[in-house]
Chains A and B, each alone.
Chain A
Amino acid sequence: MDGVMTQKKTNEKLGGKDLINIGIYAAIYCVIMTAVSMLGFIPIMMPMLSVLCPLIGGITMMLFYTKVKKFGMITIITIIIGAYLWITGMGYWPFVFGIVCGLAADFVAKSGNYLSKKKTVLSHAIMNVTIFGCFLPLYLDINGYFSSRTSFGSDYVEALTRIFRPWTAPVILACCFVFGVLGALLGMHFLKKHFEKAGIV
């Protein structure tokens, strides 16, 4: 009995293979996110990040979710993504959001034993709220943010100020969530269409 218990305990702990998987998928996700973020310099496209990142990243993440069997993996990948956003200059809010959203997403996925499809979709949507963290400084301190961005030219700032009215904050938050759901569904579709056939799931 004791032997069974210890074996179960070691199974719960994250092994080397799990951690390497996290690193690999985080790298793929970050590269995709960077490619998408480059669109953010056309003023109209900036809020679109909350649409495109969850949607395209969903494909990567659904593949990652098939590898998740233990508690902690989703938390760690979200923290790493948040830290990456911080390092690439989105401020520290994504990092804070990453810790909170990552834990929440992990708990949701765990409640479905990492197998339930509905819970996976919900968990992915919660995870993507992290991206809202990038936009938070825009609403918290709108003048402070733009005073430091005058080097972009007044037109750019004007276009951005017009886009970021306070009522758009919940819209962006909702966008992250809804497109997180859609991204997860798209990812699952791709999973069935391509990856299962190729035998990498």
Chain B
Amino acid sequence: MEKALYNPGKLDRGILMDPRTKLLLLITVTTFALGGAGGRRCENLVPVLCMAPFLLLFTAKRFKTAIIGIILFWGSSTLLTFANAHNMGGFLYYIILGSCGVLGRFLPCIMMGRYLMESTTVSEFTKAMKKLHVSDNIIIPLSVMFRFFPTVIDEADSISCAMKMRGISIGGKHASKMVEYRMVPLMTCCVNIGEELSAAALTRGLGGEVKRTNICKIGFHVQDFIAISLCLVPWILLIVDVVK
């Protein structure tokens, strides 16, 4: 993964949006495109919502991520249609179904999550949560979690490489030891990194008694209003549906 992922603040980020709008978009996409709320009424809106993350990645100048995402999305849906049209059966069909199902369904949400992470700095995120009047007890763990995700994934990748070399993987010689031999090193190194992280954060005054200030400027602009109005459509349809 590129370094830009963890440090979006220093780069040209294209059109900026309020983190609250991004959160609303994320929740809308997961609820309607992935969770399938709203049923038939919202069916026509789902493709629009699925394409939204890719468009947003373009506006944030994340061309590489966006293009990879579009190719994967398009490829998986083509393969799925192909498999359905040829009436394939058996094991191979399940594999295609499984892998394409994962991609087609989750990709918009994953891309939306990527967009949220790549285009928002942790301090912007904190400020947005503060403005939503979320308690500090939730904000601090959440921002630590956002910061820590890439580290955990990175460590897990390295451990998995090392263990594959020793035959501890699915289909390897010692597959039964997988859980123990992967979990224990992962936990150990993550806990150690975490200790250092918390020492660093405490040095910078996290968890002090005083109220923390934030210099980030966030607010709603034209692009936010367009995105919010797009998000409101399926919600209104859902509410109308429920009230009926």
Residues of A within 8 A of B (CB): 14-17, 19-24, 26-28, 30-32, 35, 38, 41-43, 56, 59-60, 63, 72, 76-77, 79-80, 86-92, 137, 144-145, 147-149, 151-153, 155-156, 190, 194-195, 198, 200
Contact = CB atoms under 8 A, between A and B. Distances in A.
Interface of B: 26-27, 30-31, 34-37, 39-40, 43, 80, 83-84, 89, 93-94, 97-99, 101-102, 104-106, 109, 113, 136-138, 140-145, 147-149, 151-153, 156, 179-180, 183-184, 186-188, 190-192, 194, 197-198, 201-202, 206-208
A106 to B, nearest CB: 13
Contact of B30 (A19, A72, A88): A88
20 contacts: A19-B144, A20-B201, A20-B202, A23-B141, A23-B144, A24-B145, A26-B145, A27-B152, A28-B187, A32-B183, A41-B98, A41-B99, A148-B39, A151-B101, A153-B80, A153-B83, A190-B184, A195-B187, A200-B188, A200-B192
A17 B148 contact: no
Query: Which applies to chain A's interface (DSSP): helix, strand, loop or mixed?
Result: helix
A195 B188 contact: yes
Query: Which applies to chain B's interface (DSSP): helix, strand, loop or mixed?
Result: helix
Contacts of B206: 16, 20
Contacts of A86: 27, 30
A96 to B, nearest CB: 14
A137 B84 CA distance: 27
Given A60-B187, A87-B30, 19 more contacts: A15-B207, A19-B136, A20-B198, A26-B145, A27-B145, A28-B190, A31-B153, A77-B141, A86-B27, A87-B113, A88-B34, A144-B36, A148-B39, A155-B93, A156-B97, A195-B184, A195-B188, A200-B188, A200-B192
